[in-house]
């Protein structure tokens, strides 16, 4: 039996919440509103892992900024060469890329990132006359990502958008139960005018906990 390990997140905030890093055999989902820090956490994770192994980074929102990436790494271009960036512009392209990434997995790969799983899915849902095929494709993507992490012990990090439900105004993840049950680790990000907060809502072995943080030039840091 292969031992479950921890992979450093590149962020003191997430390392503190997860007591050492991402579990290497599950999908971890970061979800929250725009500008809450999701992409910054992804960039820091990519940078941390790329110091040793390759990272597959699927950027569906155009949020990957080379300038910000170099800023986080003190202009370390060599490390970023190990981050393989994909930029799908449709849900169909996203679906194809997830399959292609799964076929390229080997022992030189240390992390798969999908930032975000929701944007192109939502656009497709708005266009579709029948939403069932769209949801089936989303389920297939999540199944493929789960196979990657469970079979190869490579952590998968995805981000997701949120919305306020009209019945009770509670914040919910896009994709509903599909995303909720596919991810064994769920971290919600909050932001307001004065501070940001990361809340660990779901984990196989850790209790609910939270950490306040700020986003600085050097990345996410725990608030004093």
Q: What is the CATH number of the domain that holds 147?
A: 3.40.50.300
User: With 70 as the cut, is the pLDDT of residue 175 above it?
Assistant: no
Calculate mean pLDDT across residues 68-85: 91
Contacts of 77 (CB under 8 A, 6+ apart): 70
1 within domain boundaries: no
Count of domains forming the chain: 1
Q: Look up the pTM and report it.
A: 0.91
Contacts of 132 (CB under 8 A, 6+ apart): none
pLDDT at 197: 92
Q: With bands split at pLDDT 50, 70 and 90, how would you rate the model's confidence at 74?
A: confident
Closest to 185 in 3D by CA, of 203, 172, 173: 203
- Find the Cα–Cα–Cα–Cα dihedral 73, 56, 180, 94, rounded to 10°: 120
Higher pLDDT: 36 or 170? It is 36
pLDDT at 2: 47
CA–CA separation, 13 and 7 (whole Å):
14
112 within domain boundaries: yes
138 within domain boundaries: yes
User: With 60 as the cut, is the pLDDT of residue 169 above it?
Assistant: no
Q: In this structure, are residues 171 and 160 in contact, taking their beta carbons and an 8 Å threshold?
A: no
The string of pLDDT tens digits covering residues 188-200 is: 998 877 679 999 9
144 within domain boundaries: yes
51 within domain boundaries: yes
Q: Which of 8-22, 162-176, 178-192 has the lowest mean pLDDT?
A: 162-176
CB atoms within 10 A of CB 167: 6
Higher pLDDT: 44 or 161? It is 44
pLDDT at 108: 95
Q: Which domain holds residue 51?
A: 6-222
- Residue 4 DSSP symbol: P
Q: What is the mean pLDDT of the chain?
A: 89
pLDDT at 1: 42
DSSP string, 138-200: HHHHHHHHHHHHHHH---EEEEE-EEE-TTT--EEETTHHHHHHH-SEEEEEEE-SS-EEEEE
**Type and span of the H or E element at 84:** strand 83-86
Q: In this structure, are residues 15 and 213 in contact, taking their beta carbons and an 8 Å threshold?
A: no
140 within domain boundaries: yes
The string of pLDDT tens digits covering residues 19-42 is: 989 999 999 999 988 888 899 999
């Amino acid at each position: 039996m292969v031992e479950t390990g921890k992979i450093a997140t590149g962020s003191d905030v997430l390392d503190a919440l997860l007591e050492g890093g991402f579990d290497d055999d599950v999908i971890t989902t970061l979800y929250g509103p725009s500008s809450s820090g999701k992409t910054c956490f992804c960039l820091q994770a990519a940078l941390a892992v790329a110091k040793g192994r390759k990272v597959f980074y699927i950027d569906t929102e155009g949020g990957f900024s080379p300038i910000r990436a170099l800023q986080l790494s003190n202009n370390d271009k060599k490390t970023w060469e190990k981050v393989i960036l994909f930029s799908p512009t449709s849900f169909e392209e996203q679906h194809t890329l997830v399959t292609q990434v799964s076929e390229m997995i080997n022992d030189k790969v240390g992390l798969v990132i999908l930032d975000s799983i929701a944007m192109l899915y939502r656009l497709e849902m708005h266009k579709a006359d029948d939403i069932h095929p769209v949801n089936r494709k989303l389920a297939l993507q999540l199944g493929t990502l789960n196979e990657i992490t469970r079979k190869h012990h490579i952590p998968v990090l995805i981000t997701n958008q949120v919305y306020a439900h009209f019945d009770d105004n509670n914040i919910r993840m896009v994709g509903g139960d599909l995303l909720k049950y596919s991810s064994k680790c769920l971290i919600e990000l909050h932001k307001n005018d004065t501070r940001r907060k990361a809340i660990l809502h779901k984990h196989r072995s850790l209790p609910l906990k939270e950490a306040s943080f700020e986003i600085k030039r050097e990345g996410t840091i725990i608030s004093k």
